[in-house]
Structure 1
Amino acid sequence: MRSLVAALPGTFSTPVLVVLHIGAYCSELPALLNAAGPVPAKHAEDGETILPGHIYVAPPDRHLIVADERLRLIRGPKENCARPAIDPLFRSVAESYGSDAVGVILTGNLNDGTLGMLEIKRRGGVAISQDPNDAAHPEMPRSAAEHVALDYCLPLAEIPDLLIELVDQKCGKELPMPKTSSQRDRQAPEIINSQTFERPLTVTCPDCGGALKNFKVGSIVKFTCHTGHSYTAENMAAAQFEEMEKVMRAAVRFLNERAEFCLQMAEHGDDGKPDASNEWHAASRQALDRAYKLRDLVEQDWLTPEISRQLASAHDGPDQTGFRG
């Protein structure tokens, strides 16, 4: 990245978005890139406007995406065991910029970025990969070359000139802006920010977590997992709800314990380090606030069709048989 940025001129007029799979570890990449070349680099901030001629780096433990003409940082599920991950960025840029998107994959392990690059190509964008023979870790570039119809596969030293050429070709053309959500709504909807859940492939067993299959025995719906646990629909609903409540109350406990831990750390930091103490106090208040919110959510009334059904069935009993047993 330092080599690439060092070869870009200060007049480079396109925003550059960078993801390095650093996990939750501290990142000094913006400072390194600022020292390497004239294009200003910084960690991206949630909600900020994308400006030309700037380098935006995904901060630790946050996916960086483009949505509604702005940069967004989300703590969505990890992809290929990584957060930040390159694929969410590629997908969002492909959807937002279409044929004006340019994706670049550099040295790296495994096949991260390949699926996102496929989306960039599907939308008519430009796909670039470092030559695997030029990469210290060739797996990511090699995967891209094998699975994507790349437009360019070059040694690292040649990629900056290519990027400058591609930008120069668009000189005089208005800077492409991301599509807004209303524009996206008129197309096939795609989830790029991990806020909407996909339907699960199956429902799992409350006892062991195994996949459940359902079938009818007469008029009764039955659920059975491959290890042998079985439930009627009503009992399954009750067991599922009980397990859900148990997990949510465990989360309340963890949040409360985190609040206490942060409070203890704040007390240890009182002597001589007021800033650190204030941060621990703030973290304690945040954890406690979320614990109360989650507790309130657990204790709200939940829709329970299985109970309503049982009550309706019991009510029907006397009308049909004259007694309840």
Structure 2
Amino acid sequence: MPQHRDVVVVGASAGGVESLRGLLATLPADLAAAVLVVLHMPSGCTSALPAILNRAGLLPARPASHGAPLRHGHVYTAIPDHHLLVLDDLMGLSRGPAENGHRPAVDALFRSTARAVGPRAIGVVLSGALDDGASGLTSIVARGGAAVVQDPADALCPGMPENALREVPTARVAPVAELAEVLTKLIAEPVAAGPANTMSPLDLVEADIAAHGLKEGRPNMDTMGDPSGFTCPDCDGSLMTVPGTRRYRCRVGHAWSLEALAERKDGQLERALWTALRTLDEKITLGRRMEQTAVERGNGLVAKRYAASVAEAAQAADVLREFIRADVLPTGEEATL
């Protein structure tokens, strides 16, 4: 008996709620597939996504539950601070290392689904920034699954769709209003059983890391790639290059794409600049007080030394403010400096 694609995994980020609502509004109630959704979200919140998606269409939506079976015609959403995975036709929840600064991460869901169900998987990338999902989509295709990407021109934030198409140019592309038709056709198509081991060894290791972390007896990333010269923004550990990719992992498993790492480094630089500016301003204030104290005590030489230190710090602060105005802050925020 031929099998069909019956596990649809969907990843989204910025602008993704609108795309998800549009997709769910057009999917039929008798959809012969389970739908699993990862939307990037802060770790300390309660997700309202199931309630939003329940109101969007005919399919019931609920938070994912560890060990629960996948049921056709149902939507399961990731919960905060947990990777959502597919493990042997069951849902899995894991607190494995973050990927691209996210837990849940789209790549973690996609890789686990590719590993678990092979050609029965359909990966869908919707609106979002940067490139989470692009790597995982290649794993789905490598296992014989199908790839679908929201038309970047139709996405509120085209970064994730554009990067997915860069990695998987053969993916089917459509605006949200047409995605349901694309998916129902893919679900109806019979597919042959895929070969057992078409994911790369590194993809299998990365899927294992998302589920279990780096435990004793499992391969460490520092034995699988060369040092990148970068440090992990999450733990300050050394990042190793994932061979054959533009991605990195640290020894405890945090994963970063080149784009996500660059964005996080921008944030670290901005915080460092603000810290330096605050420190200079405090040094100026303290120096002026010390200068005034020296004057009151009649110690002119010491007062001049403090005055010189204040002038030097003030000059450095002015240079730093100009740099922040030019390279860090959006236009219009300069007046607050």
TM-score, length basis structure 1:
0.56
Aligned to 2:296: none
How much has 1:161 moved relative to structure 2?
A: 0.9
Q: Verify: 1:201 aligned to 2:222, yes or no.
A: yes
Whole-Å separation in 2 of the counterparts to 1:11 and 1:27: 26
Whole-Å separation in 1 of the counterparts to 2:164 and 2:129: 12
How much has 1:68 moved relative to structure 2?
A: 2.7
Whole-Å separation in 1 of the counterparts to 2:138 and 2:188: 25
Aligned to 1:29: 49
SS in structure 2 of the partner of residue 56 of structure 1: strand
SS in structure 2 of the partner of residue 52 of structure 1: coil
One-letter amino acid matched to 2:98: K
Aligned to 1:42: 62
Aligned to 1:293: none
- Cα distance change, pair 155–200 in 1 and its aligned pair in 2 (3 A): closer
- Cα distance change, pair 199–122 in 1 and its aligned pair in 2 (3 A): same
- Cα distance change, pair 119–210 in 1 and its aligned pair in 2 (3 A): closer
Greater mean alpha carbon deviation, residues 67-76 or residues 191-200: 191-200
**Cα RMSD (Å):** 2.7
SS in structure 2 of the partner of residue 73 of structure 1: strand
Give the aligned length. 197
How much has 1:196 moved relative to structure 2?
A: 5.0
Aligned to 2:132: 112
Aligned to 2:30: 11
One-letter amino acid matched to 1:23: P
What whole-Å deviation, never above 9, does each CA across 1:278-299 have from its counterpart, x for those lacking one? Answer: xxxxxxxxxxxxxxxxxxxxxx
One-letter amino acid matched to 1:18: V
1:277-316 → structure 2 map (5 Å cutoff): none
1:1-325 → structure 2 map (5 Å cutoff): 1-24=20-43, 25-170=45-190, 190-191=204-205, 192-194=207-209, 195=212, 197=214, 198-201=219-222
CA contact (8 A) 2:89 2:117 kept: no
- Cα distance change, pair 74–210 in 1 and its aligned pair in 2 (3 A): closer
Whole-Å separation in 1 of the counterparts to 2:114 and 2:51: 28
CA contact (8 A) 2:87 2:112 kept: yes
What whole-Å deviation, never above 9, does each CA across 1:159-217 have from its counterpart, x for those lacking one? Answer: 111111222234xx89x9x99xxx88xx96924242252325279xxxxx887xxxxxx
What whole-Å deviation, never above 9, does each CA across 1:8-33 have from its counterpart, x for those lacking one? Answer: 11111100010000131221111111
Bigger relative CO (Cα 8 Å, ≥ 6 apart)? 2
Whole-Å separation in 1 of the counterparts to 2:221 and 2:34: 37
Whole-Å separation in 1 of the counterparts to 2:90 and 2:201: 21
How much has 1:75 moved relative to structure 2?
A: 0.6
Identity %: 41
- Cα distance change, pair 50–199 in 1 and its aligned pair in 2 (3 A): same
Q: Which stretches of structure 1, 4 residues or more, deviate above 4 A after TM superposition? A: none
Structure 1: stretches of 5+ with no match in the other structure: 204-208, 212-325
TM-score, length basis structure 2:
0.54
What whole-Å deviation, never above 9, does each CA across 1:247-271 have from its counterpart, x for those lacking one? Answer: xxxxxxxxxxxxxxxxxxxxxxxxx
How much has 1:128 moved relative to structure 2?
A: 0.8
Give the structure with higher Rg (CA): 1
CA contact (8 A) 1:129 1:150 kept: no
How much has 1:57 moved relative to structure 2?
A: 0.4
Whole-Å separation in 2 of the counterparts to 1:45 and 1:210: 32
CA contact (8 A) 1:111 1:144 kept: yes
CA contact (8 A) 1:15 1:53 kept: yes
One-letter amino acid matched to 1:16: V
How much has 1:51 moved relative to structure 2?
A: 1.1
One-letter amino acid matched to 1:67: L
How much has 1:113 moved relative to structure 2?
A: 0.5
